């Protein structure tokens, strides 16, 4: 078996869905399980309803839902056999309208946001399963929610792996054995008592990997809108090249520091069984893509010590200066307990003799964190920062690489520098506006023009 996951742009409209169908048709003998995202931008549009609900703007909510239904109807018109699926989507959209009308003037809870955001995948998967059947494939729509059982940390739920794996096997293996192609949703799950959850933004890749591990597939295919994992985001570095191969560790570091092409947790379920991930372009299915596997050998990366550069905006730096305390026993632990209590994830950490700098992305509990940190020392907060991360197993082995890195980033721009414990990444925190320039200079220095 294989898992084939199609992201938002790969299911954006009827033409994209027709390409998906032909890709699946070319892989029937591998017994594919198809995981789909919502049609491109639909998750954003659904989440944009929340502030309209909160401000009590009923007519705007109705209009936005009508527009989403229109978007799906337009897609369905280009695809044979989708009438009944479209009718189901229409009815569910009406139900959503009624639910949100009851909530007008109130703030949606995280659970409410998940019930809303997950609609996009439910609708896209119904449409795509129907279109596949209409095109002569033996497709079966599968609701992933009773399979993907998660905890109740809404908007960023974690799967209960054992339950999920056994349910995935008992549902999906017999379907594949009988020659059916399961079509299911990425991103969504539910708590054990049936309340809808999501795995966090971009989570469909993670769904695909979790199912791939459960089913012990040959490979997990991630179909997207670029040729694979590249030497940098092609939107920032137009001359970026596609990597033939990368290791799990490299892929995870790149994703954590901004390479949106993969969700940061994608590799994690696959490490144990050594199942490869292949990142492929759904508009150019004959390109080789990038293979992410246990030991992408060094020689496959040419002569650069680094494999790729990633870039992440919207970062806040917190600097804690505590000259007398820093060396004191237990100081760092006390500091990290503050972050832990508020469930705020720290991405990058650097310390000097008198201060600690760290970065966070999530600003929702920042005020509380800062007020508690102020009891430990003098706290400075800087918004509008970005992380630039260079990643490559060659960083560990190549002499002189640090000097070249510093020359390329031009240290005046850099506020925090940190090397990950794995020694395969080096991160720089810069002002957001300086970020693209730093990425371009590093790319020129290490990865060609
Ligand atoms: P999907 O909808 O298929 O999940 P995403 O938009 O989540 O696709 O991810 C694909 C995008 O990731 C690309 O269009 C590209 O702009 C961006 N990206 C960022 N860094 C990289 C990288 N290193 N390699 C490839 N793509 C990258
Ligand atoms: N549709 C979801 C999102 O936009 C999940 C995904 O596409 O991976 O975040
Ligand atoms: Mg994605």
Tens of pLDDT, residues 141-172: 999 999 999 999 999 999 999 999 999 999 99
Q: What local confidence, expressed as pLDDT, does residue 80 receive?
A: 97
* Residue owning tokens 């569910």: 92
Q: Give the number of the ligand closest to the Cα of residue 11.
A: 1
Q: What local confidence, expressed as pLDDT, does residue 299 receive?
A: 42
Instruction: Say if ligand 1 is within 6 A of residue 225 CB.
Output: yes
Instruction: Say if ligand 1 is within 6 A of residue 217 CB.
Output: no
Give the predicted TM-score (pTM) of the model.
0.94
Q: What local confidence, expressed as pLDDT, does residue 35 receive?
A: 99
Q: Give the number of the ligand closest to the Cα of residue 122.
A: 2
Q: What local confidence, expressed as pLDDT, does residue 298 receive?
A: 44
Q: In the Cβ-directed half-sphere of 17, how many Cα atoms lie within 13 Å?
A: 30
Q: What local confidence, expressed as pLDDT, does residue 295 receive?
A: 67
Looking at the CA of residue 261, tell me the nearest atom of ligand 1.
9
Instruction: Say if ligand 2 is within 6 A of residue 207 CB.
Output: no
Q: Give the number of the ligand closest to the Cα of residue 259.
A: 1
CB environment 396-433: b (16+ within 10 A), e (fewer): eebeebeeebeebbeeebbbbbbebeeebbbbbbbeee
SS3 content of the chain, % helix, strand, coil (to 5): 45, 20, 35
Instruction: Say if ligand 1 is within 6 A of residue 130 CB.
Output: no
The residue among 357, 372, 349 whose CA lies nearest residue 320 is: 357
Cα–Cα distances in angstroms (integers) from residue 447 to residues 3, 232, 324, 427, 443, in the given order: 32, 9, 44, 17, 5
Q: What local confidence, expressed as pLDDT, does residue 413 receive?
A: 75
What is the rounded CA–CA span in Å between residue 7 and residue 39? 8
Start-to-end CA span in the chain (Å) = 40
Q: What local confidence, expressed as pLDDT, does residue 223 receive?
A: 98
> Which segments in the chain show pLDDT lower than 50?
298-299
Q: What local confidence, expressed as pLDDT, does residue 331 receive?
A: 84
């Amino acid at each position: 078996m294989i898992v084939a996951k199609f992201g938002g742009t790969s299911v954006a409209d009827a033409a994209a869905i027709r390409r998906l169908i032909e890709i699946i048709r070319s892989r029937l003998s591998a017994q594919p399980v198809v995981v789909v995202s919502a049609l491109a931008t639909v998750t954003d549009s659904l989440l944009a309803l929340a502030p309209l609900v909160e401000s009590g703007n009923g007519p705007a909510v109705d209009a936005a839902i009508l527009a989403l239904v229109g978007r799906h109807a337009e897609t369905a018109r280009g695809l044979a056999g989708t009438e009944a699926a479209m009718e189901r989507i229409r009815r569910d959209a009406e139900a959503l309208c009624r639910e949100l009308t009851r909530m007008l003037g109130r703030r949606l809870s995280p659970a409410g946001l998940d019930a809303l955001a997950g609609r996009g995948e439910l609708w896209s998967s119904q449409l795509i399963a129907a279109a596949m059947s209409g095109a002569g494939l033996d497709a079966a729509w599968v609701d992933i929610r009773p399979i993907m059982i998660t905890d109740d940390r809404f908007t960023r739920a974690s799967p209960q792996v054992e339950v999920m794996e056994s349910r995935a096997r008992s549902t999906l293996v017999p379907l594949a054995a009988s020659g059916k192609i399961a079509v299911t949703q990425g991103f969504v799950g539910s708590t054990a008592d049936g309340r809808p959850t999501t795995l966090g933004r971009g989570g469909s890749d993670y769904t695909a990997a979790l199912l791939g591990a459960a089913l012990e597939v040959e490979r997990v295919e991630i179909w997207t809108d670029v040729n694979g994992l590249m030497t940098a985001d092609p939107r920032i570095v137009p001359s970026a090249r596609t990597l033939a191969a990368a290791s799990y560790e490299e892929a995870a570091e790149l994703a954590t520091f901004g390479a949106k092409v993969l969700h940061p947790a994608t590799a994690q379920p696959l490490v144990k069984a050594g199942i490869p991930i292949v990142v492929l372009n759904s508009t150019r299915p004959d390109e080789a893509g990038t293979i992410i596997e246990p030991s992408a050998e060094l020689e496959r990366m040419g002569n650069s010590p680094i494999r790729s550069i990633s870039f992440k905006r919207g970062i806040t730096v917190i600097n804690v200066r505590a000259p007398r305390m820093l060396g004191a026993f237990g100081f760092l632990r006390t500091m990290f307990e503050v972050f832990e209590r508020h469930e705020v994830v720290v991405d990058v950490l650097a310390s000097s003799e008198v201060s600690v700098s760290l970065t966070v992305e999530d600003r929702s509990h920042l005020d509380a964190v800062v007020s508690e940190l102020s009891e430990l020392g003098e706290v400075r907060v800087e918004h509008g920062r970005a992380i630039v991360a260079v990643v490559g197993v060659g960083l560990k082995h190549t002499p002189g690489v640090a000097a070249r890195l510093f020359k390329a980033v031009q240290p005046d721009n850099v506020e925090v520098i940190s090397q990950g414990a794995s020694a395969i990444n080096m991160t720089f925190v810069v002002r957001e506006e300086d970020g693209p320039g730093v990425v371009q200079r590093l790319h020129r220095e290490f990865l060609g023009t």
